[in-house]
Chains A and B, each alone.
Chain A
Amino acid sequence: MSLFSAHSLYKSFGGIGAVQGVSLSVEPGEMLALIGPNGAGKSTCFAMLGGQIEPDMGEVRLNGVALHGGPVSFAHAGIGRSFQISKTFASMSVGENVQTALLAAQRQLWRLRSAADAQVKAEAICLLDRVGLAALADHDAATLAYGDTKRLELAITLAATPRVLLLDEPTAGMAQRERRAAMELVASLAQDGIAVIFTEHDMQAVFSFAHRILVMDRGILMAEGTPAEIAANPMVQNVYLGTV
């Protein structure tokens, strides 16, 4: 039994099948890449894996138990995720963004008195340090550059100490060097035992960091294998690499 798995997920929007029968599974410490051309259905898959949209058919399981009840219960179960277009809490400082996520994870939101205490603040700085944003802790989150927003969102996601991490294009909008650093950070998270599923347009990042790759096209899983197998698969080269 896998840590986290999806079983023949289907989802269509107004008659167009965005995802048609996708199954997958990940283990702790594994980095699984989901690739495919624009519109292949990757983000829709992620939305079902993260509980944001309910599949028309199929289910998502954690330790063999089906997950239900929308994004909030998925989050409490230990599924963390980032979005293709990152959004952070714009009316807060960078540090407060992470503190809020920490308090949510510790189920302390219903406390009315006194905001984040020293311990939460220290934990937040620690997480920001991990993504390389500690120096910006007091800045307005709304004024961050896009790459920094992505990093802040990662810190927010990590605040919940997730067991499964879904990252939708984690390095989009970053410069080449930043990308490498960001992917190395993700790899270190996997090494700590988190199961990571990510999508990415940067093929170099995919082939150097993924342990296993799933290729999607028009809502269907086309191929699955190690980076070496995928690189050698002529069908994949034809369908995917040819259309980027």
Chain B
Amino acid sequence: MLATLAIQALTGLSSASSLFLVASGLSVIFGVTRVVNFAHGSLCMLGAYLGWTVLTHLPRDPLSFALGVLIAALGTAMFGAWLEIVLLRRLYRAPALLQLLATFAVLLVMQDAIEHIWGPADLPLPRGPWLRSFVPILGERFPLYDLVLIAIGPLVLIALSLMVTRTRFGMLLRAATENRTMLAALGVDQRYLFTAVLALGAGLAGLGGALSLPENSANLGIDLRVITDAFVVVVVGGMGSIGGAYLAAVLVGVMQSLGILLLPKSSLVLVFVLMALVLALRPQGLLGKTGEAEETPRFHRLRAAGLWQKLAGGAVLVAALAIGLLGGDFARSVLEEMAVAALFAASLHLLLGPGGTISFGHAAWFGIGAYAAALGTTVLAVPLPLALILAVLAAGTMAFLIGLVLIRLSGVSLAMMTLAFAQIAWAVATQWDDVTGGDDGILGLWPPPWMGGTWFFLLCIALSATGVLALRAVIFSPFGFALRAGRDAPWRAAASGIDAEKLRLAAFTLAGSAAGLAGALSSFSKGSVFPSSLAIFRSVDALSMVLLGGVQSVSGPILGAIAYTGLFDTLLLASDYWRALLGLTLLALILWRPQGLAR
């Protein structure tokens, strides 16, 4: 037993190495540019594909392998530099939310581009004999290559540390990370430094991708899987700390592989619990510093709706009801989707706008609501109204519990961790077949006959509209004012007795509950639930809607939801390259109309 544990721990160490390579790149880039590079997993994926192409053309001995891996890392580094020059340098002054969305757009485009170039099938690496050999350890056979990986992590850590402490480039790196005014004083052309840092970070990611080839083929799932793990490692280790990244990578890697032994079905949950523990004790991460406060974007004055706005809103509602009642099933289902989207977007806007909190995993609450309603109907056989209440309670409770751990984190870390949680919830939904039906989802969730067709349509519109109006009312209530006070001037608010953290937790819970209601309504409207309701794309849907309408206004997200659902959903999804199209649209929007279309 002890031997098995030790072997499993060694396996964990080897996976920690590739995790560290990717996470350290992410951390270095963040430290210098203050941009969280969502496309970092895609760089890792690019490294894997480049590595595959190079290595399949080389002989299968260790030296050629090393050469091929280095070529792949170099290629990825060059791509990273190019990315910095054409895109990232336009984003350094943008708010964190837009930086995250823009780099996510890069992820979308790269996914389609790589699929276009290399094809959709997994590409396993033909392995030479040395890659298939084993070493006896504690009476068990341990893969030689895993030992190599275990060594590479600390080697890269030492190399990076030496570079940071001994070279001029490293000195500049440290200056940029720790003291920006000093950097300006040194008279360095910051542009070259930033390009070089992107190349370094991308190279590390590419190296990690290529090195993982012998164990995992080059495949299109790498980007999202890797970025989630890397986010966890960087936040737990401390943003910008390379040593912290190694420590956290080891912790996560070993935990994951031991977790498979101890709790085969819920190793993910174990990782999340570990992460929650660390962050509850040290919100800045293991080796992170409680650094400078992040700059929050300036928000405009919010005004309650005037007469014309109220009339326009009423007119939209009446028009929707008329079209739905006079039109057919298709018109009703489109309108239901729009209404649900409006509620979903409005709930996210409460966090992004008044809450000043970036959530990148809002789909978690939508999906938890959808699954709670579905399971309530199929397993508990409760009637539809009760299923809706169950969904709101389930999503709200989960949002409260997760918020309890995460709400103290600084802006960008919170965004990364909400994403991580949503990805874990998604993984649970796909893997827990017995309950969730896995990828097949849960089907046959139609409303009962007495509630069918138009009645459900009316209920859906009524609940969505009530939800949206309630969220609006919250924004202009004393609670909403205090929430904004805590966002606008945290110190001033605290000195006036406003406990912003508690208010933010309440907003997080409220937004989660509302998103849960949206998810439940959506599952009855579609008659089914799939893991896609929790996927990152669902979160990005909501972010795009809010962005499209403008985060600065209260009505913007609602208009954004209607426009996004009506236009983009139908037009984009008809294309084979919907990801690339969505990504390019997002990039265009962020670069040219960052304030949204509503203004």
A, B from the same assembly: yes
B169 within 8 A of A: no
Chain A CB within 10 Å, residue with most, of B301, B479, B495: B495
- Cα distance A88–B301 in the bound complex, in angstroms: 12
Q: Which chain A residues in 59-94 approach chain B with CB under 8 Å?
A: 70-72, 74-76, 80-81, 83, 87-93
- Cα distance A116–B499 in the bound complex, in angstroms: 19
- Cα distance A37–B237 in the bound complex, in angstroms: 40
A100 within 8 A of B: yes
A100 touches B298 (CB 8 A): no
Kindly supply a per-residue 1/0 record for chain A positions 113-125, scoring 1 wherever the CB is within 8 Å of any chain B CB and 0 otherwise: 1111000000000
B482 touches A103 (CB 8 A): yes
Chain A CB within 10 Å, residue with most, of B477, B478, B482: B478
A13 within 8 A of B: no
B488 touches A109 (CB 8 A): no
B492 touches A90 (CB 8 A): no
Q: How far is the CB of B499 from the nearest CB of chain A, in Å?
A: 5
Kindly supply a per-residue 1/0 record for chain A positions 151-193, scoring 1 wherever the CB is within 8 Å of any chain B CB and 0 otherwise: 0010011011000000000000000000000000000000000
Neighbour of A142 across the interface among B298, B474, B480, CB < 8 A: B298
Q: How far is the CB of A161 from the nearest CB of chain B, in Å?
A: 11
- Cα distance A157–B492 in the bound complex, in angstroms: 9
| Chain B, Cβ-Cβ closest to A143 | B301
- Cα distance A91–B494 in the bound complex, in angstroms: 17
Neighbour of A72 across the interface among B299, B478, B487, B498, CB < 8 A: B498
B476 within 8 A of A: yes
Given contacts A75-B494, A104-B497, A159-B496, contact A109 B489 (CB under 8 A): no
Q: How far is the CB of B84 from the nearest CB of chain A, in Å?
A: 32
Given contacts A91-B488, A104-B482, A111-B477, contact A81 B495 (CB under 8 A): yes
B299 touches A90 (CB 8 A): yes
B348 within 8 A of A: no
Given contacts A50-B495, A71-B491, A156-B496, contact A91 B484 (CB under 8 A): yes
Q: How far is the CB of A159 from the nearest CB of chain B, in Å?
A: 7
**Which residues of B are found within 8 Å of A50, using beta-carbon distances?**
495
A-B pair count, CB < 8 Å, reads 113
Interface size on B, residues (CB 8 A): 30
A109 touches B479 (CB 8 A): yes
- Cα distance A74–B499 in the bound complex, in angstroms: 12
Neighbour of A112 across the interface among B473, B484, B495, B497, CB < 8 A: B473
B300 within 8 A of A: yes
Q: Which chain A residues in 137-154 approach chain B with CB under 8 Å?
A: 140-142, 153
**Which residues of B are found within 8 Å of A83, using beta-carbon distances?**
491-492, 495
**Which residues of B are found within 8 Å of A104, using beta-carbon distances?**
482, 485, 493, 496-498
- Cα distance A109–B498 in the bound complex, in angstroms: 8
Q: How far is the CB of A77 from the nearest CB of chain B, in Å?
A: 9
Neighbour of A108 across the interface among B298, B478, B491, B496, CB < 8 A: B478
- Cα distance A84–B481 in the bound complex, in angstroms: 24
| Chain A, Cβ-Cβ closest to B499 | A72
A75 touches B497 (CB 8 A): yes
A100 touches B482 (CB 8 A): yes
| Chain B, Cβ-Cβ closest to A153 | B492
- Do most interface residues of chain B lie in helix, strand or loop, or is the interface mixed? helix
- Cα distance A234–B280 in the bound complex, in angstroms: 53
Q: How far is the CB of B536 from the nearest CB of chain A, in Å?
A: 30
A109 touches B491 (CB 8 A): no
B496 touches A105 (CB 8 A): yes
Q: How far is the CB of A56 from the nearest CB of chain B, in Å?
A: 16
- Cα distance A90–B356 in the bound complex, in angstroms: 13
| Chain A, Cβ-Cβ closest to B506 | A110
**Which residues of B are found within 8 Å of A25, using beta-carbon distances?**
none
A43 within 8 A of B: no
Neighbour of A92 across the interface among B298, B484, B496, CB < 8 A: B484
- Cα distance A156–B493 in the bound complex, in angstroms: 10
Kindly supply a per-residue 1/0 record for chain A positions 125-145, scoring 1 wherever the CB is within 8 Å of any chain B CB and 0 otherwise: 000000000000000111000
A89 touches B488 (CB 8 A): yes
B302 within 8 A of A: yes
A80 touches B484 (CB 8 A): no
A52 within 8 A of B: yes
Chain A CB within 10 Å, residue with most, of B494, B496, B503: B496
B492 touches A111 (CB 8 A): no
**Which residues of A are found within 8 Å of B506, using beta-carbon distances?**
110
A30 within 8 A of B: no
| Chain B, Cβ-Cβ closest to A71 | B494
**Which residues of B are found within 8 Å of A156, using beta-carbon distances?**
492, 496
**Which residues of A are found within 8 Å of B494, using beta-carbon distances?**
52, 70-72, 75
**Which residues of A are found within 8 Å of B493, using beta-carbon distances?**
89, 104
**Which residues of A are found within 8 Å of B299, using beta-carbon distances?**
90-91
A99 within 8 A of B: yes
A91 touches B301 (CB 8 A): yes
B478 touches A89 (CB 8 A): no
A52 touches B491 (CB 8 A): yes
Given contacts A72-B497, A90-B298, A93-B301, contact A103 B481 (CB under 8 A): yes
**Which residues of B are found within 8 Å of A90, using beta-carbon distances?**
298-299, 301, 488-489
- Cα distance A115–B492 in the bound complex, in angstroms: 20
- Cα distance A109–B480 in the bound complex, in angstroms: 8
| Chain A, Cβ-Cβ closest to B490 | A87
Q: Which chain B residues in 19-48 approach chain A with CB under 8 Å?
A: none
B301 touches A87 (CB 8 A): no
B496 touches A160 (CB 8 A): yes
Kindly supply a per-residue 1/0 record for chain B positions 418-429, scoring 1 wherever the CB is within 8 Å of any chain A CB and 0 otherwise: 000000000000
A236 within 8 A of B: no
A109 touches B482 (CB 8 A): yes
Kindly supply a per-residue 1/0 record for chain B positions 454-477, scoring 1 wherever the CB is within 8 Å of any chain A CB and 0 otherwise: 000000000000000000011011
B477 touches A115 (CB 8 A): yes
Q: How far is the CB of B480 from the nearest CB of chain A, in Å?
A: 8
B484 touches A89 (CB 8 A): yes
Q: How far is the CB of A170 from the nearest CB of chain B, in Å?
A: 14
- Cα distance A181–B447 in the bound complex, in angstroms: 69
**Which residues of A are found within 8 Å of B473, using beta-carbon distances?**
112-113
Question: Could you write out 8 A-B pairs with CB less than 8 Å apart?
Answer: A52-B494, A74-B495, A83-B492, A91-B488, A104-B497, A114-B477, A116-B478, A157-B495
With A87-B489, A100-B485 given, can you name 14 additional A-B contacts, CB distance below 8 Å? A89-B492, A91-B302, A92-B484, A92-B485, A100-B478, A100-B481, A104-B485, A104-B498, A112-B477, A113-B473, A115-B478, A116-B478, A116-B481, A157-B496
Nearest 7 pairs of A and B residues by beta carbon: A75-B497, A87-B489, A71-B494, A89-B488, A109-B482, A91-B299, A100-B481
Question: Hey, which bits of chain B sit against chain A, CB under 8 A?
Answer: 298-302, 473-474, 476-482, 484-485, 487-489, 491-499, 503, 506
